[in-house]
Every structure is written in structure tokens, then in C-alpha cells.
Amino acid sequence: MNPRRRFARYAWGVLIWNVLTILWGAYVRATGAGAGCGSHWPLCNGVVLPRAPEIETLVEFTHRLTSGLALLLVIGLVGWSRRTFRPESLARRAAWTSLVLVMVEALIGAGLVLFGWVAMDTSSARAVAVALHLVNTLLLLAALAVTAWVGDRPEKVTFRWSGGWKLGFAAGLASVAALAATGAVTALGDTLFPVRSLAEGLQADFARGSHPLIRLRVIHPVLAVAVGGYVMALAGAAQAFGGRAVRTGRWLTAILLTQWIAGAANVVLLAPVGLQLLHLLLADAAWVALVFLILEVGGSGGDGVPENNPQEA
């Protein structure tokens, strides 16, 4: 098998593993198990391997193990990229970026534990940290997606985007990241302030004396409709480039439509844990699909107007 193809398969595996690790981290938050190892990091309750752990400790400790393996896999990705690609290649730079971001991911996770922003903590600092955590997660997935995409191409790819597409895609990425940040805060509010009915939840959302995490919940669904519509418009317009951009644009649109349904169900059913995880999985899938769409359009030469400084993979 071609060395690039072997590298690409490994890169795809690293991407998938990180998505699974992210989902498990969301499960830790949704079940309130973030304090399962106490205020200790990287140790768990002051020891390397907890004995006779409670379920919360087991959940949190498992997340730390999966996160540690994710770090090792990314280190392996960097090492492999050094043997396979030139120093200036996009795949190699994206792999290095992935390593930096996965380390930032670990530091944010450590901060949540060490500062006690876990379990039932309702501080605004926790809300900010959780939002930043998810934005960094998206950047990590983007870097891994670029690494896998470029590695999966047998030939050198030159990327060109016109000014209009650069602006449009930049707005798309920024808006989806902002949407994800509000989604993280909304999910935190659902965990800390559960309600018994939809009517009770709506009343709490607009009550003057409600906690800020409750009152902020209404922002996310409104933003989801606006951002989803914009990104679907981008996906539709990008299909004019033909080739894989058509398929990627259709997949992105399908994921977003499914995400709207899952989001509505999440509100009506009062955010059960399983549905929260599905909602996050679809958000990650939509983000990665958007990154792929950007690469497909750039790889096809943008709108046919070459840039002054094309970037070669």
C-alpha cells in the first residue's frame, strides 16, 4: 500500500478516536461525574490507579485514559507525518497543529478539575471554560480532518479560494464555533438545572430571577436556525464546483437537517443524556463536513480565480 494511504488510514483512525473521546467527555459532564477523581490531576483521588472506585470515579478515570491515548495517537501522527511529508506540507503542519491543540485540550480539562469547575458547580467561570473547551475541540477536529484529507490524496494538491469564498467560509466556521460555544453552555445549564416539563423550562428561561445559565438557554436554538440556514446555503452554492464538493455539500446539508430534528427533540424531551450525545456527535460531524467542503472547493481552484500565494499540500 502507498505510504500516504497508510498514513491517511491512521489519521482517520485518530480523528474517529478523538470524536469518541469527546463524546465520553460529554457523558462525564452530563452525568456529573467530573469530580469522580476529586480535585486531583493527573492523579485520580491522589493515586495513579484508583482501587474499588465508585461509578463516578470509574467514568472520570476512563475519560482520562481515553484522553491520554488520544494524546499518544496524535504524537504518533506527528512522527509519521515527519517521515511521509515534506516539512512545508499542509499535512505535516496540520499534524503539528493537532498536537498543540490536544495539549491545550488537556490543560483546559485539568483546569476544570483543579479549579473545581465540575459536578454541580454553577460559576460563570465554568461556563466560560466549557465554551472555550468545545471551541478548542472543534479546532482540534479541524486539524485532524485536514491531516486525514490531505494524506488521503495521492497527488499534491494546490488550494485556491477567491476572496468571496474565503470570507464566506470564514464566516461559516466562526458562526458554527459560536453556535457550539452556546451549545456547550446550554448543555451545562440543562445538567445543572433540570426541569420536570417543557412548560417549566420555558418559564424558567424568561424568569427574571433565573440563573444566567438558564436564561442563556434560549439563545442556542435561535442561533442554530440562523447558522444552520447559512451553512446550508454555503453547501448548496459550493455544489457548483462539481466533483466531491457536490457529495460533501449534500452530506453537510443532511447532517444539519438531522441536527435540527435532534435539537428540537432535545428540547421537547428535556435533554436526556443519550440525546445530548447524539446532538454533540451531529455537531462534530457537521463541523468536519464543513472543513471537508472548504478543502474540496479550495482543491478545485475556488471560483477559477487563482490566488497569488496558493498553498500546496
Burial annotation 161-193 (CB, 10 A radius, 16+ → b, else e) = bbeebeebbeebbebbbebbbbbbbbbbbbbbb
Q: Which of 82-86, 159-163, 299-303 has the lowest mean pLDDT?
A: 299-303
pLDDT of 306 strictly over 60? no
Among 141, 156, 171, where does a domain finish? 156
Contact yes or no for 172/234 (Cβ under 8 A): yes
7-45: per-residue pLDDT in tens?
Answer: 999 999 999 999 999 999 999 999 989 889 988 998 898
Q: Give the per-residue pLDDT at 309.
A: 37
Do 151 and 23 sit in the same domain of this protein? yes
Residue 266 CA, chain-centre distance (Å), reads 19
Among 156, 184, 210, where does a domain finish? 156
Counting the structural domains of the chain, the total is 2
pLDDT of 217 strictly over 50? yes
Q: Give the per-residue pLDDT at 156.
A: 72
Mean per-residue pLDDT, 232-256: 95
Neighbours of 40 (CB within 10 A): 12
Q: Give the per-residue pLDDT at 113.
A: 93
Q: Give the per-residue pLDDT at 300.
A: 73
The Cα 168–Cα 230 span in angstroms is: 10
Do 270 and 220 sit in the same domain of this protein? yes
Do 257 and 133 sit in the same domain of this protein? no
Among 156, 176, 206, where does a domain finish? 156
The Cα 214–Cα 212 span in angstroms is: 5
Do 138 and 167 sit in the same domain of this protein? no
Q: Give the per-residue pLDDT at 4.
A: 87
pLDDT of 1 strictly over 70? no
Confidence label for 307 from pLDDT (cuts 50, 70 and 90) = very low
Contact yes or no for 302/160 (Cβ under 8 A): yes
Q: Which of 77-86, 137-146, 155-164, 280-289 has the lowest mean pLDDT?
A: 155-164
Q: How far is CA 114 from CA 119, 190, 203, in A?
A: 12, 23, 35
Q: How far is CA 65 from CA 7, 18, 71, in A?
A: 24, 12, 10
Do 215 and 75 sit in the same domain of this protein? no
Mean per-residue pLDDT, 46-69: 91
Domain holding 208, by residue range, is 158-313
Q: Which residue has the cell 511521509?
A: 84
Do 2 and 131 sit in the same domain of this protein? yes
The Cα 257–Cα 77 span in angstroms is: 33
Radius of gyration of the chain (CA): 20
pLDDT of 214 strictly over 50? yes
pLDDT of 311 strictly over 60? no
Contact yes or no for 166/17 (Cβ under 8 A): no
Neighbours of 75 (CB within 10 A): 15
Do 150 and 191 sit in the same domain of this protein? no
Nearest Cα neighbor of 112 from 218, 35, 189, 201 is 35
Q: What percent of the chain has pLDDT over 90?
A: 79
Mean per-residue pLDDT, 238-250: 93
> What does residue 159 show for φ and ψ, rounded to 5 degrees?
-100, 130
CA dihedral 288, 294, 300, 303 (to 10 degrees): 160
Burial of 104 (C-beta count, 10 Å sphere; 0-12/13-18/19+)? middle
The Cα 187–Cα 30 span in angstroms is: 8
Do 172 and 295 sit in the same domain of this protein? yes
Mean per-residue pLDDT, 98-117: 95
Neighbours of 240 (CB within 10 A): 12
141-194: per-residue pLDDT in tens?
Answer: 999 999 999 988 866 778 889 889 999 999 999 999 999 999 999 999 999 999
Inter-axis angle of helices 244-268 and 273-299, nearest 10: 160
Confidence label for 301 from pLDDT (cuts 50, 70 and 90) = low
HSE-CB of 182 using CA atoms within 13 angstroms: 16
Confidence label for 209 from pLDDT (cuts 50, 70 and 90) = confident
pLDDT of 302 strictly over 60? no
- pTM of structure: 0.92
The DSSP letter of residue 156 is -
pLDDT of 218 strictly over 70? yes
